[in-house]
Structure 1
Amino acid sequence: MQTHFTEEDLKKPHIREADRVLRSCVHCGFCNATCPTYQLLGDERDGPRGRIYLMKEMLESPEDDTQVTEETRLHLDRCLTCRNCETTCPSGVEYHKLLDIGRAEIERRVPRRPADRALRYGLRKALVEPGRFKALLKLGQTFRPLVPGALRDKMPPTPVDAGTRPEGRRHARQMLILEGCVQPGLSPNTNAATARVLDRLGIGLTPAPEAGCCGAIDFHLNAQDDGRARIRANIDAWWPHVEAGCEAIVQTASGCGAFVKEYGEMLADDPDYAHKAERISALARDLVEVLRDEDLATLEVKERRRLAFHCPCTLQHAQKLGGAVDQVLGRLGFALTPVQDAHLCCGSAGTYSITQPELATQLRDNKLDNLEAGNPEVIVTANIGCQTHLAGANRTPVRHWIEIVDEALT
């Protein structure tokens, strides 16, 4: 794609990056064929190619261009950032990087209305601090009838028991685990089950309680400086363990994993953190990457349920690990039902299901129809956002896949 940035424009790092991404696009339109929002709405501006043109025009236009309006932002807001288009693209366009730039620019040029700003600020403050989120969740469960429907559907009706964790330090092999921000409240058993399964494989999990939210929520709600601050705080929390020889940093939420693996790129221009961030990204492992390299026969699975696996977008399109969980579950003897259109997003997409509830609900219901077609006993997934979003429909039970593995062990 031809661009028309001035020499002065190209002195700005974000414009140089946008120019690089834009020039890799040949506007073929293959991306629209797999874009969930384009399939629902049929509007070119709600597909990747149309959004790329909108961002190109905005970035090339003068500051006072009246063509850059709230309507431009609407089409950017409707993007799920599922990155399905990147998997489809024959030219390797890094669409998500351009989208981050475009969203930051439209935020600066066209300020949001107070109610919209308040919602996004509230989401950031409520979700990113685990202690605060747990307190708010408990309050919501106590006064459940008073909670708005979109939020009520995402809350487990009662507190979830995490079970016990083994003492990880007794193993020679040690890994860190990112506890997450909302997962400890919504599904605390996920990380506990992970610790128990890894313990069986001779791997201990070293606690690093100073590490918090990965930074993705702030970053994708256009508080990018706050997101980078959380990245630096996590690096500081993990670094002593890295220097001590920690083998890997495990993520059980694929959304966090995709983000941590990009720490190196996000802090590449930070002289104090660039090297450390690159090292952290190199150590980041989704849980399935750990298990697939182990001798799973030692786990002795006794109970095998019929499952449908929903592969989160952050696992298959961002981390390029599509099929990895299916293979691990297959090696353990679980029966997996086929899922049509498994590449499509379920509509969770971080906070998208709250900021764009109508589209998110349509995508969720379509996804559940495909997941339930094979009559599974349980739907399993690898990301807390997908898990709570799908479970909110109150249809087939939805769990993290490691919990099912843990329960099947004797």
Structure 2
Amino acid sequence: MFPLLTRARLMLILAIAASASTNGCSTNEAEFRQNLVYVKAQEKTLKSEINPRQLQDVDNVLVAFFGTPDDPRVPQVGDETADLLSQSRLEMAAGAVSSNEQGKPQGLYREHCAHCHGVTGDGAGPTAEFLNPYPRDYRMGVFKFKSTPKGEKPTHEDLRQILVNGIPGTAMPSFKLLPEDELESLIQYVQYLAIRGEVERALIYECANELDRDDRLVDFDAAETDRETYNEQVEYVTSIVADTMQRWVDAESKAVPVPARPEPADLAASIAHGRELFYGPIANCVKCHGDSALGDGQKNDFDDWTKDWTVKIGIDPNKAESGEEIEHFIAAGAFEPRNIHPRNLRQGVYRGGRRPLDLYWRVKNGIDGTPMPGVLMKPEGAGPDAQGLSPADLWDLINYVRQLPYEELSETGLRKPNFQRDRL
């Protein structure tokens, strides 16, 4: 149960949001795009359209909790999540690019991020379609490179590392030269957009799968005619927002600890053992990364952002006969499906970071949003015959992966590409 003051304040905000949606907004104001791709995916599963009035309820609730791109709002849903986002940080990142009277910058997200990730955080900015890989769509709340297990949110430090280091091999640059307060504002704004997107998806799912067609997500008229029903509706949507935010709070305690990296007495033996694991049945890295570790083990899979509106609802992007359905989703805002290729480990380019602990997290946790699984680990205290890798095994595997770029097979290709003429 949420505090009475919070609930009363939320009811007022919801009423204002409903009024604003009825009266319309200035065409000069930036707007968050509705997640039409997810709407269409739910409608395909249902084999019927979601009631437009319910989708308007979704928009009204989102404005009530999260505000607009020019006027963001921190959702007030309880003490447990009160410190997750800062209103002043969001205001520094949101809005048009400008500065205040003290010279403090505003509109940081649109200045640095929106051209790729879009104002909504949907990964559909003006340059996005021309980039490979596509920029991240935050709205699923899924991030690839992090210290937490698959299915968990990234920590604050995980997001900071991405901003500071960029993502090698992609269009994502480093922002390490930004002042600390600007970095912090961007981190929180990315969290804000991700939370908003997750809540939007949850509300759309609710309308599609839990409500009857004539039901209302939040019936604003009922505030006067059926207060009990209205209160229950407000409480329910508040719980969805609170649960979503709580998962981000909980992530801070879920980073996987990395044991000290042992200094092997015989590095060559460690690498040799790592090679056995790479090609062996437990780690089985060869299945995707290929016999030569060039990333050519399989090339027909897709990431979870693509599967969300294709494979998950019965569309196979690899089949030509799926073309018409795919075009239907592209018209709603999706991008042309692209296969996700395993990393070419001989290049020595590690998108999630090249530090040993980064590689430890990638192998142990897997990579969220991709087919890359976490490796099977032996339970703590298990005997030598137990299935899985020990921490020492995992470090041997990492030692092998880290030396792959320096093998003769790798060096031959790097030393003299076949398109490069000898210099005089």
TM superposition score normalised by structure 1:
0.29
Higher Cα Rg: structure 1 or 2? 2
Larger relative contact order, structure 1 or 2 (CA cutoff 8 Å, min sep 6) = 2
